[in-house]
Amino acid sequence: MSRCWLTGASSGIGAALAQALLEQGHQVALGGRRRQPLQALAERFPGQVLLADGDLDDPVQVAQIAERIQQAWGALDMAVFNAGTCEYLEPGHFDPALVERVVRTNLLGVCRCLAAALPLLRAGVRPHLVVVGSSVTWFALPRAGAYGASKAAVRYLMESQRIDLAREGIDVTLVSPGFVDTPLTRRNDFPMPQMWSAERAARHIVRRLPRRPLEINFPGLFTWCLRLLGALPARLRLALGQRLARHEQE
């Protein structure tokens, strides 16, 4: 079984992924800001869990996590970067500090983890890099500028890294979920069609990881619709976005 580093494992998709991977027998370095849920998994799966909690916004803590993995296992076979956040930009109140917070976690956090993980993956067996993005990158939504921009950057980064890492034998999979029931989405005040539970999302991801696909999208109909909408001419996309914005404001 593989040696895996999973970030954002204390809640949501990450917590469900942690349980699914551990149930399959993998060794998992569990990352997250809150230690208690990670410790609970360590007690349920003795000998399989390496506690790797810390703040991914802090380069020193990320380096310390990588050192912990190096000392315990010597290498990584898989890294799953799932940690992320979401905040919305309210019309008429553009907040650059909000954008910075979201980008710092969603994009720069991935970059810091990637830099720390690559030497470990290069020493692993059939290394696999998995990063959780978002289906929102296919079609711009109102108020989602900060979140969407951060995830669009993650998409481009991973597609570029996929090319660069292929020569080293490191496979790259981008996960693009639709709406998933998590502590973050529970704060949303708008309709979220075809929402999946975190457990269903985790099962879907874990079943497909052994095939090492370039991308894992779900739910199928929802993500297909977003890709179709994203292919429309720019003026039509603008008109649809404005209708969504007016609906939100009613």
pTM of the full predicted structure?
0.94
The CA distances from residue 114 to 44, 55, 150, 184, in Å, are 28, 15, 16, 24
Element of type H or E holding 129: strand 128-132
Catalytic residue among 147, 179, 218, 222: 147
Query: pLDDT tens across 122-162, in order?
Result: 999 999 999 999 999 999 999 999 999 999 999 999 999 99
Query: pLDDT tens across 74-122, in order?
Result: 999 999 999 999 999 999 999 999 999 999 999 999 999 999 999 999 9
DSSP state of 89: P
| Dist CA 241 CA 231 (whole Å) | 14
DSSP state of 90: P
In order of start, what are the domains of the chain with their CATH numbers? Answer: 3-249 (3.40.50.720)
Please indicate whether residue 147 is annotated as part of the active site.
Answer: yes
Q: How many CB atoms lie within 10 A of CB 141?
A: 17
DSSP state of 108: I
CA 172 to chain centre: 13
What strands, in cross-sheet order, belong to the sheet with 128-132? 49-51, 27-30, 3-6, 78-81, 128-132, 171-177, 215-218
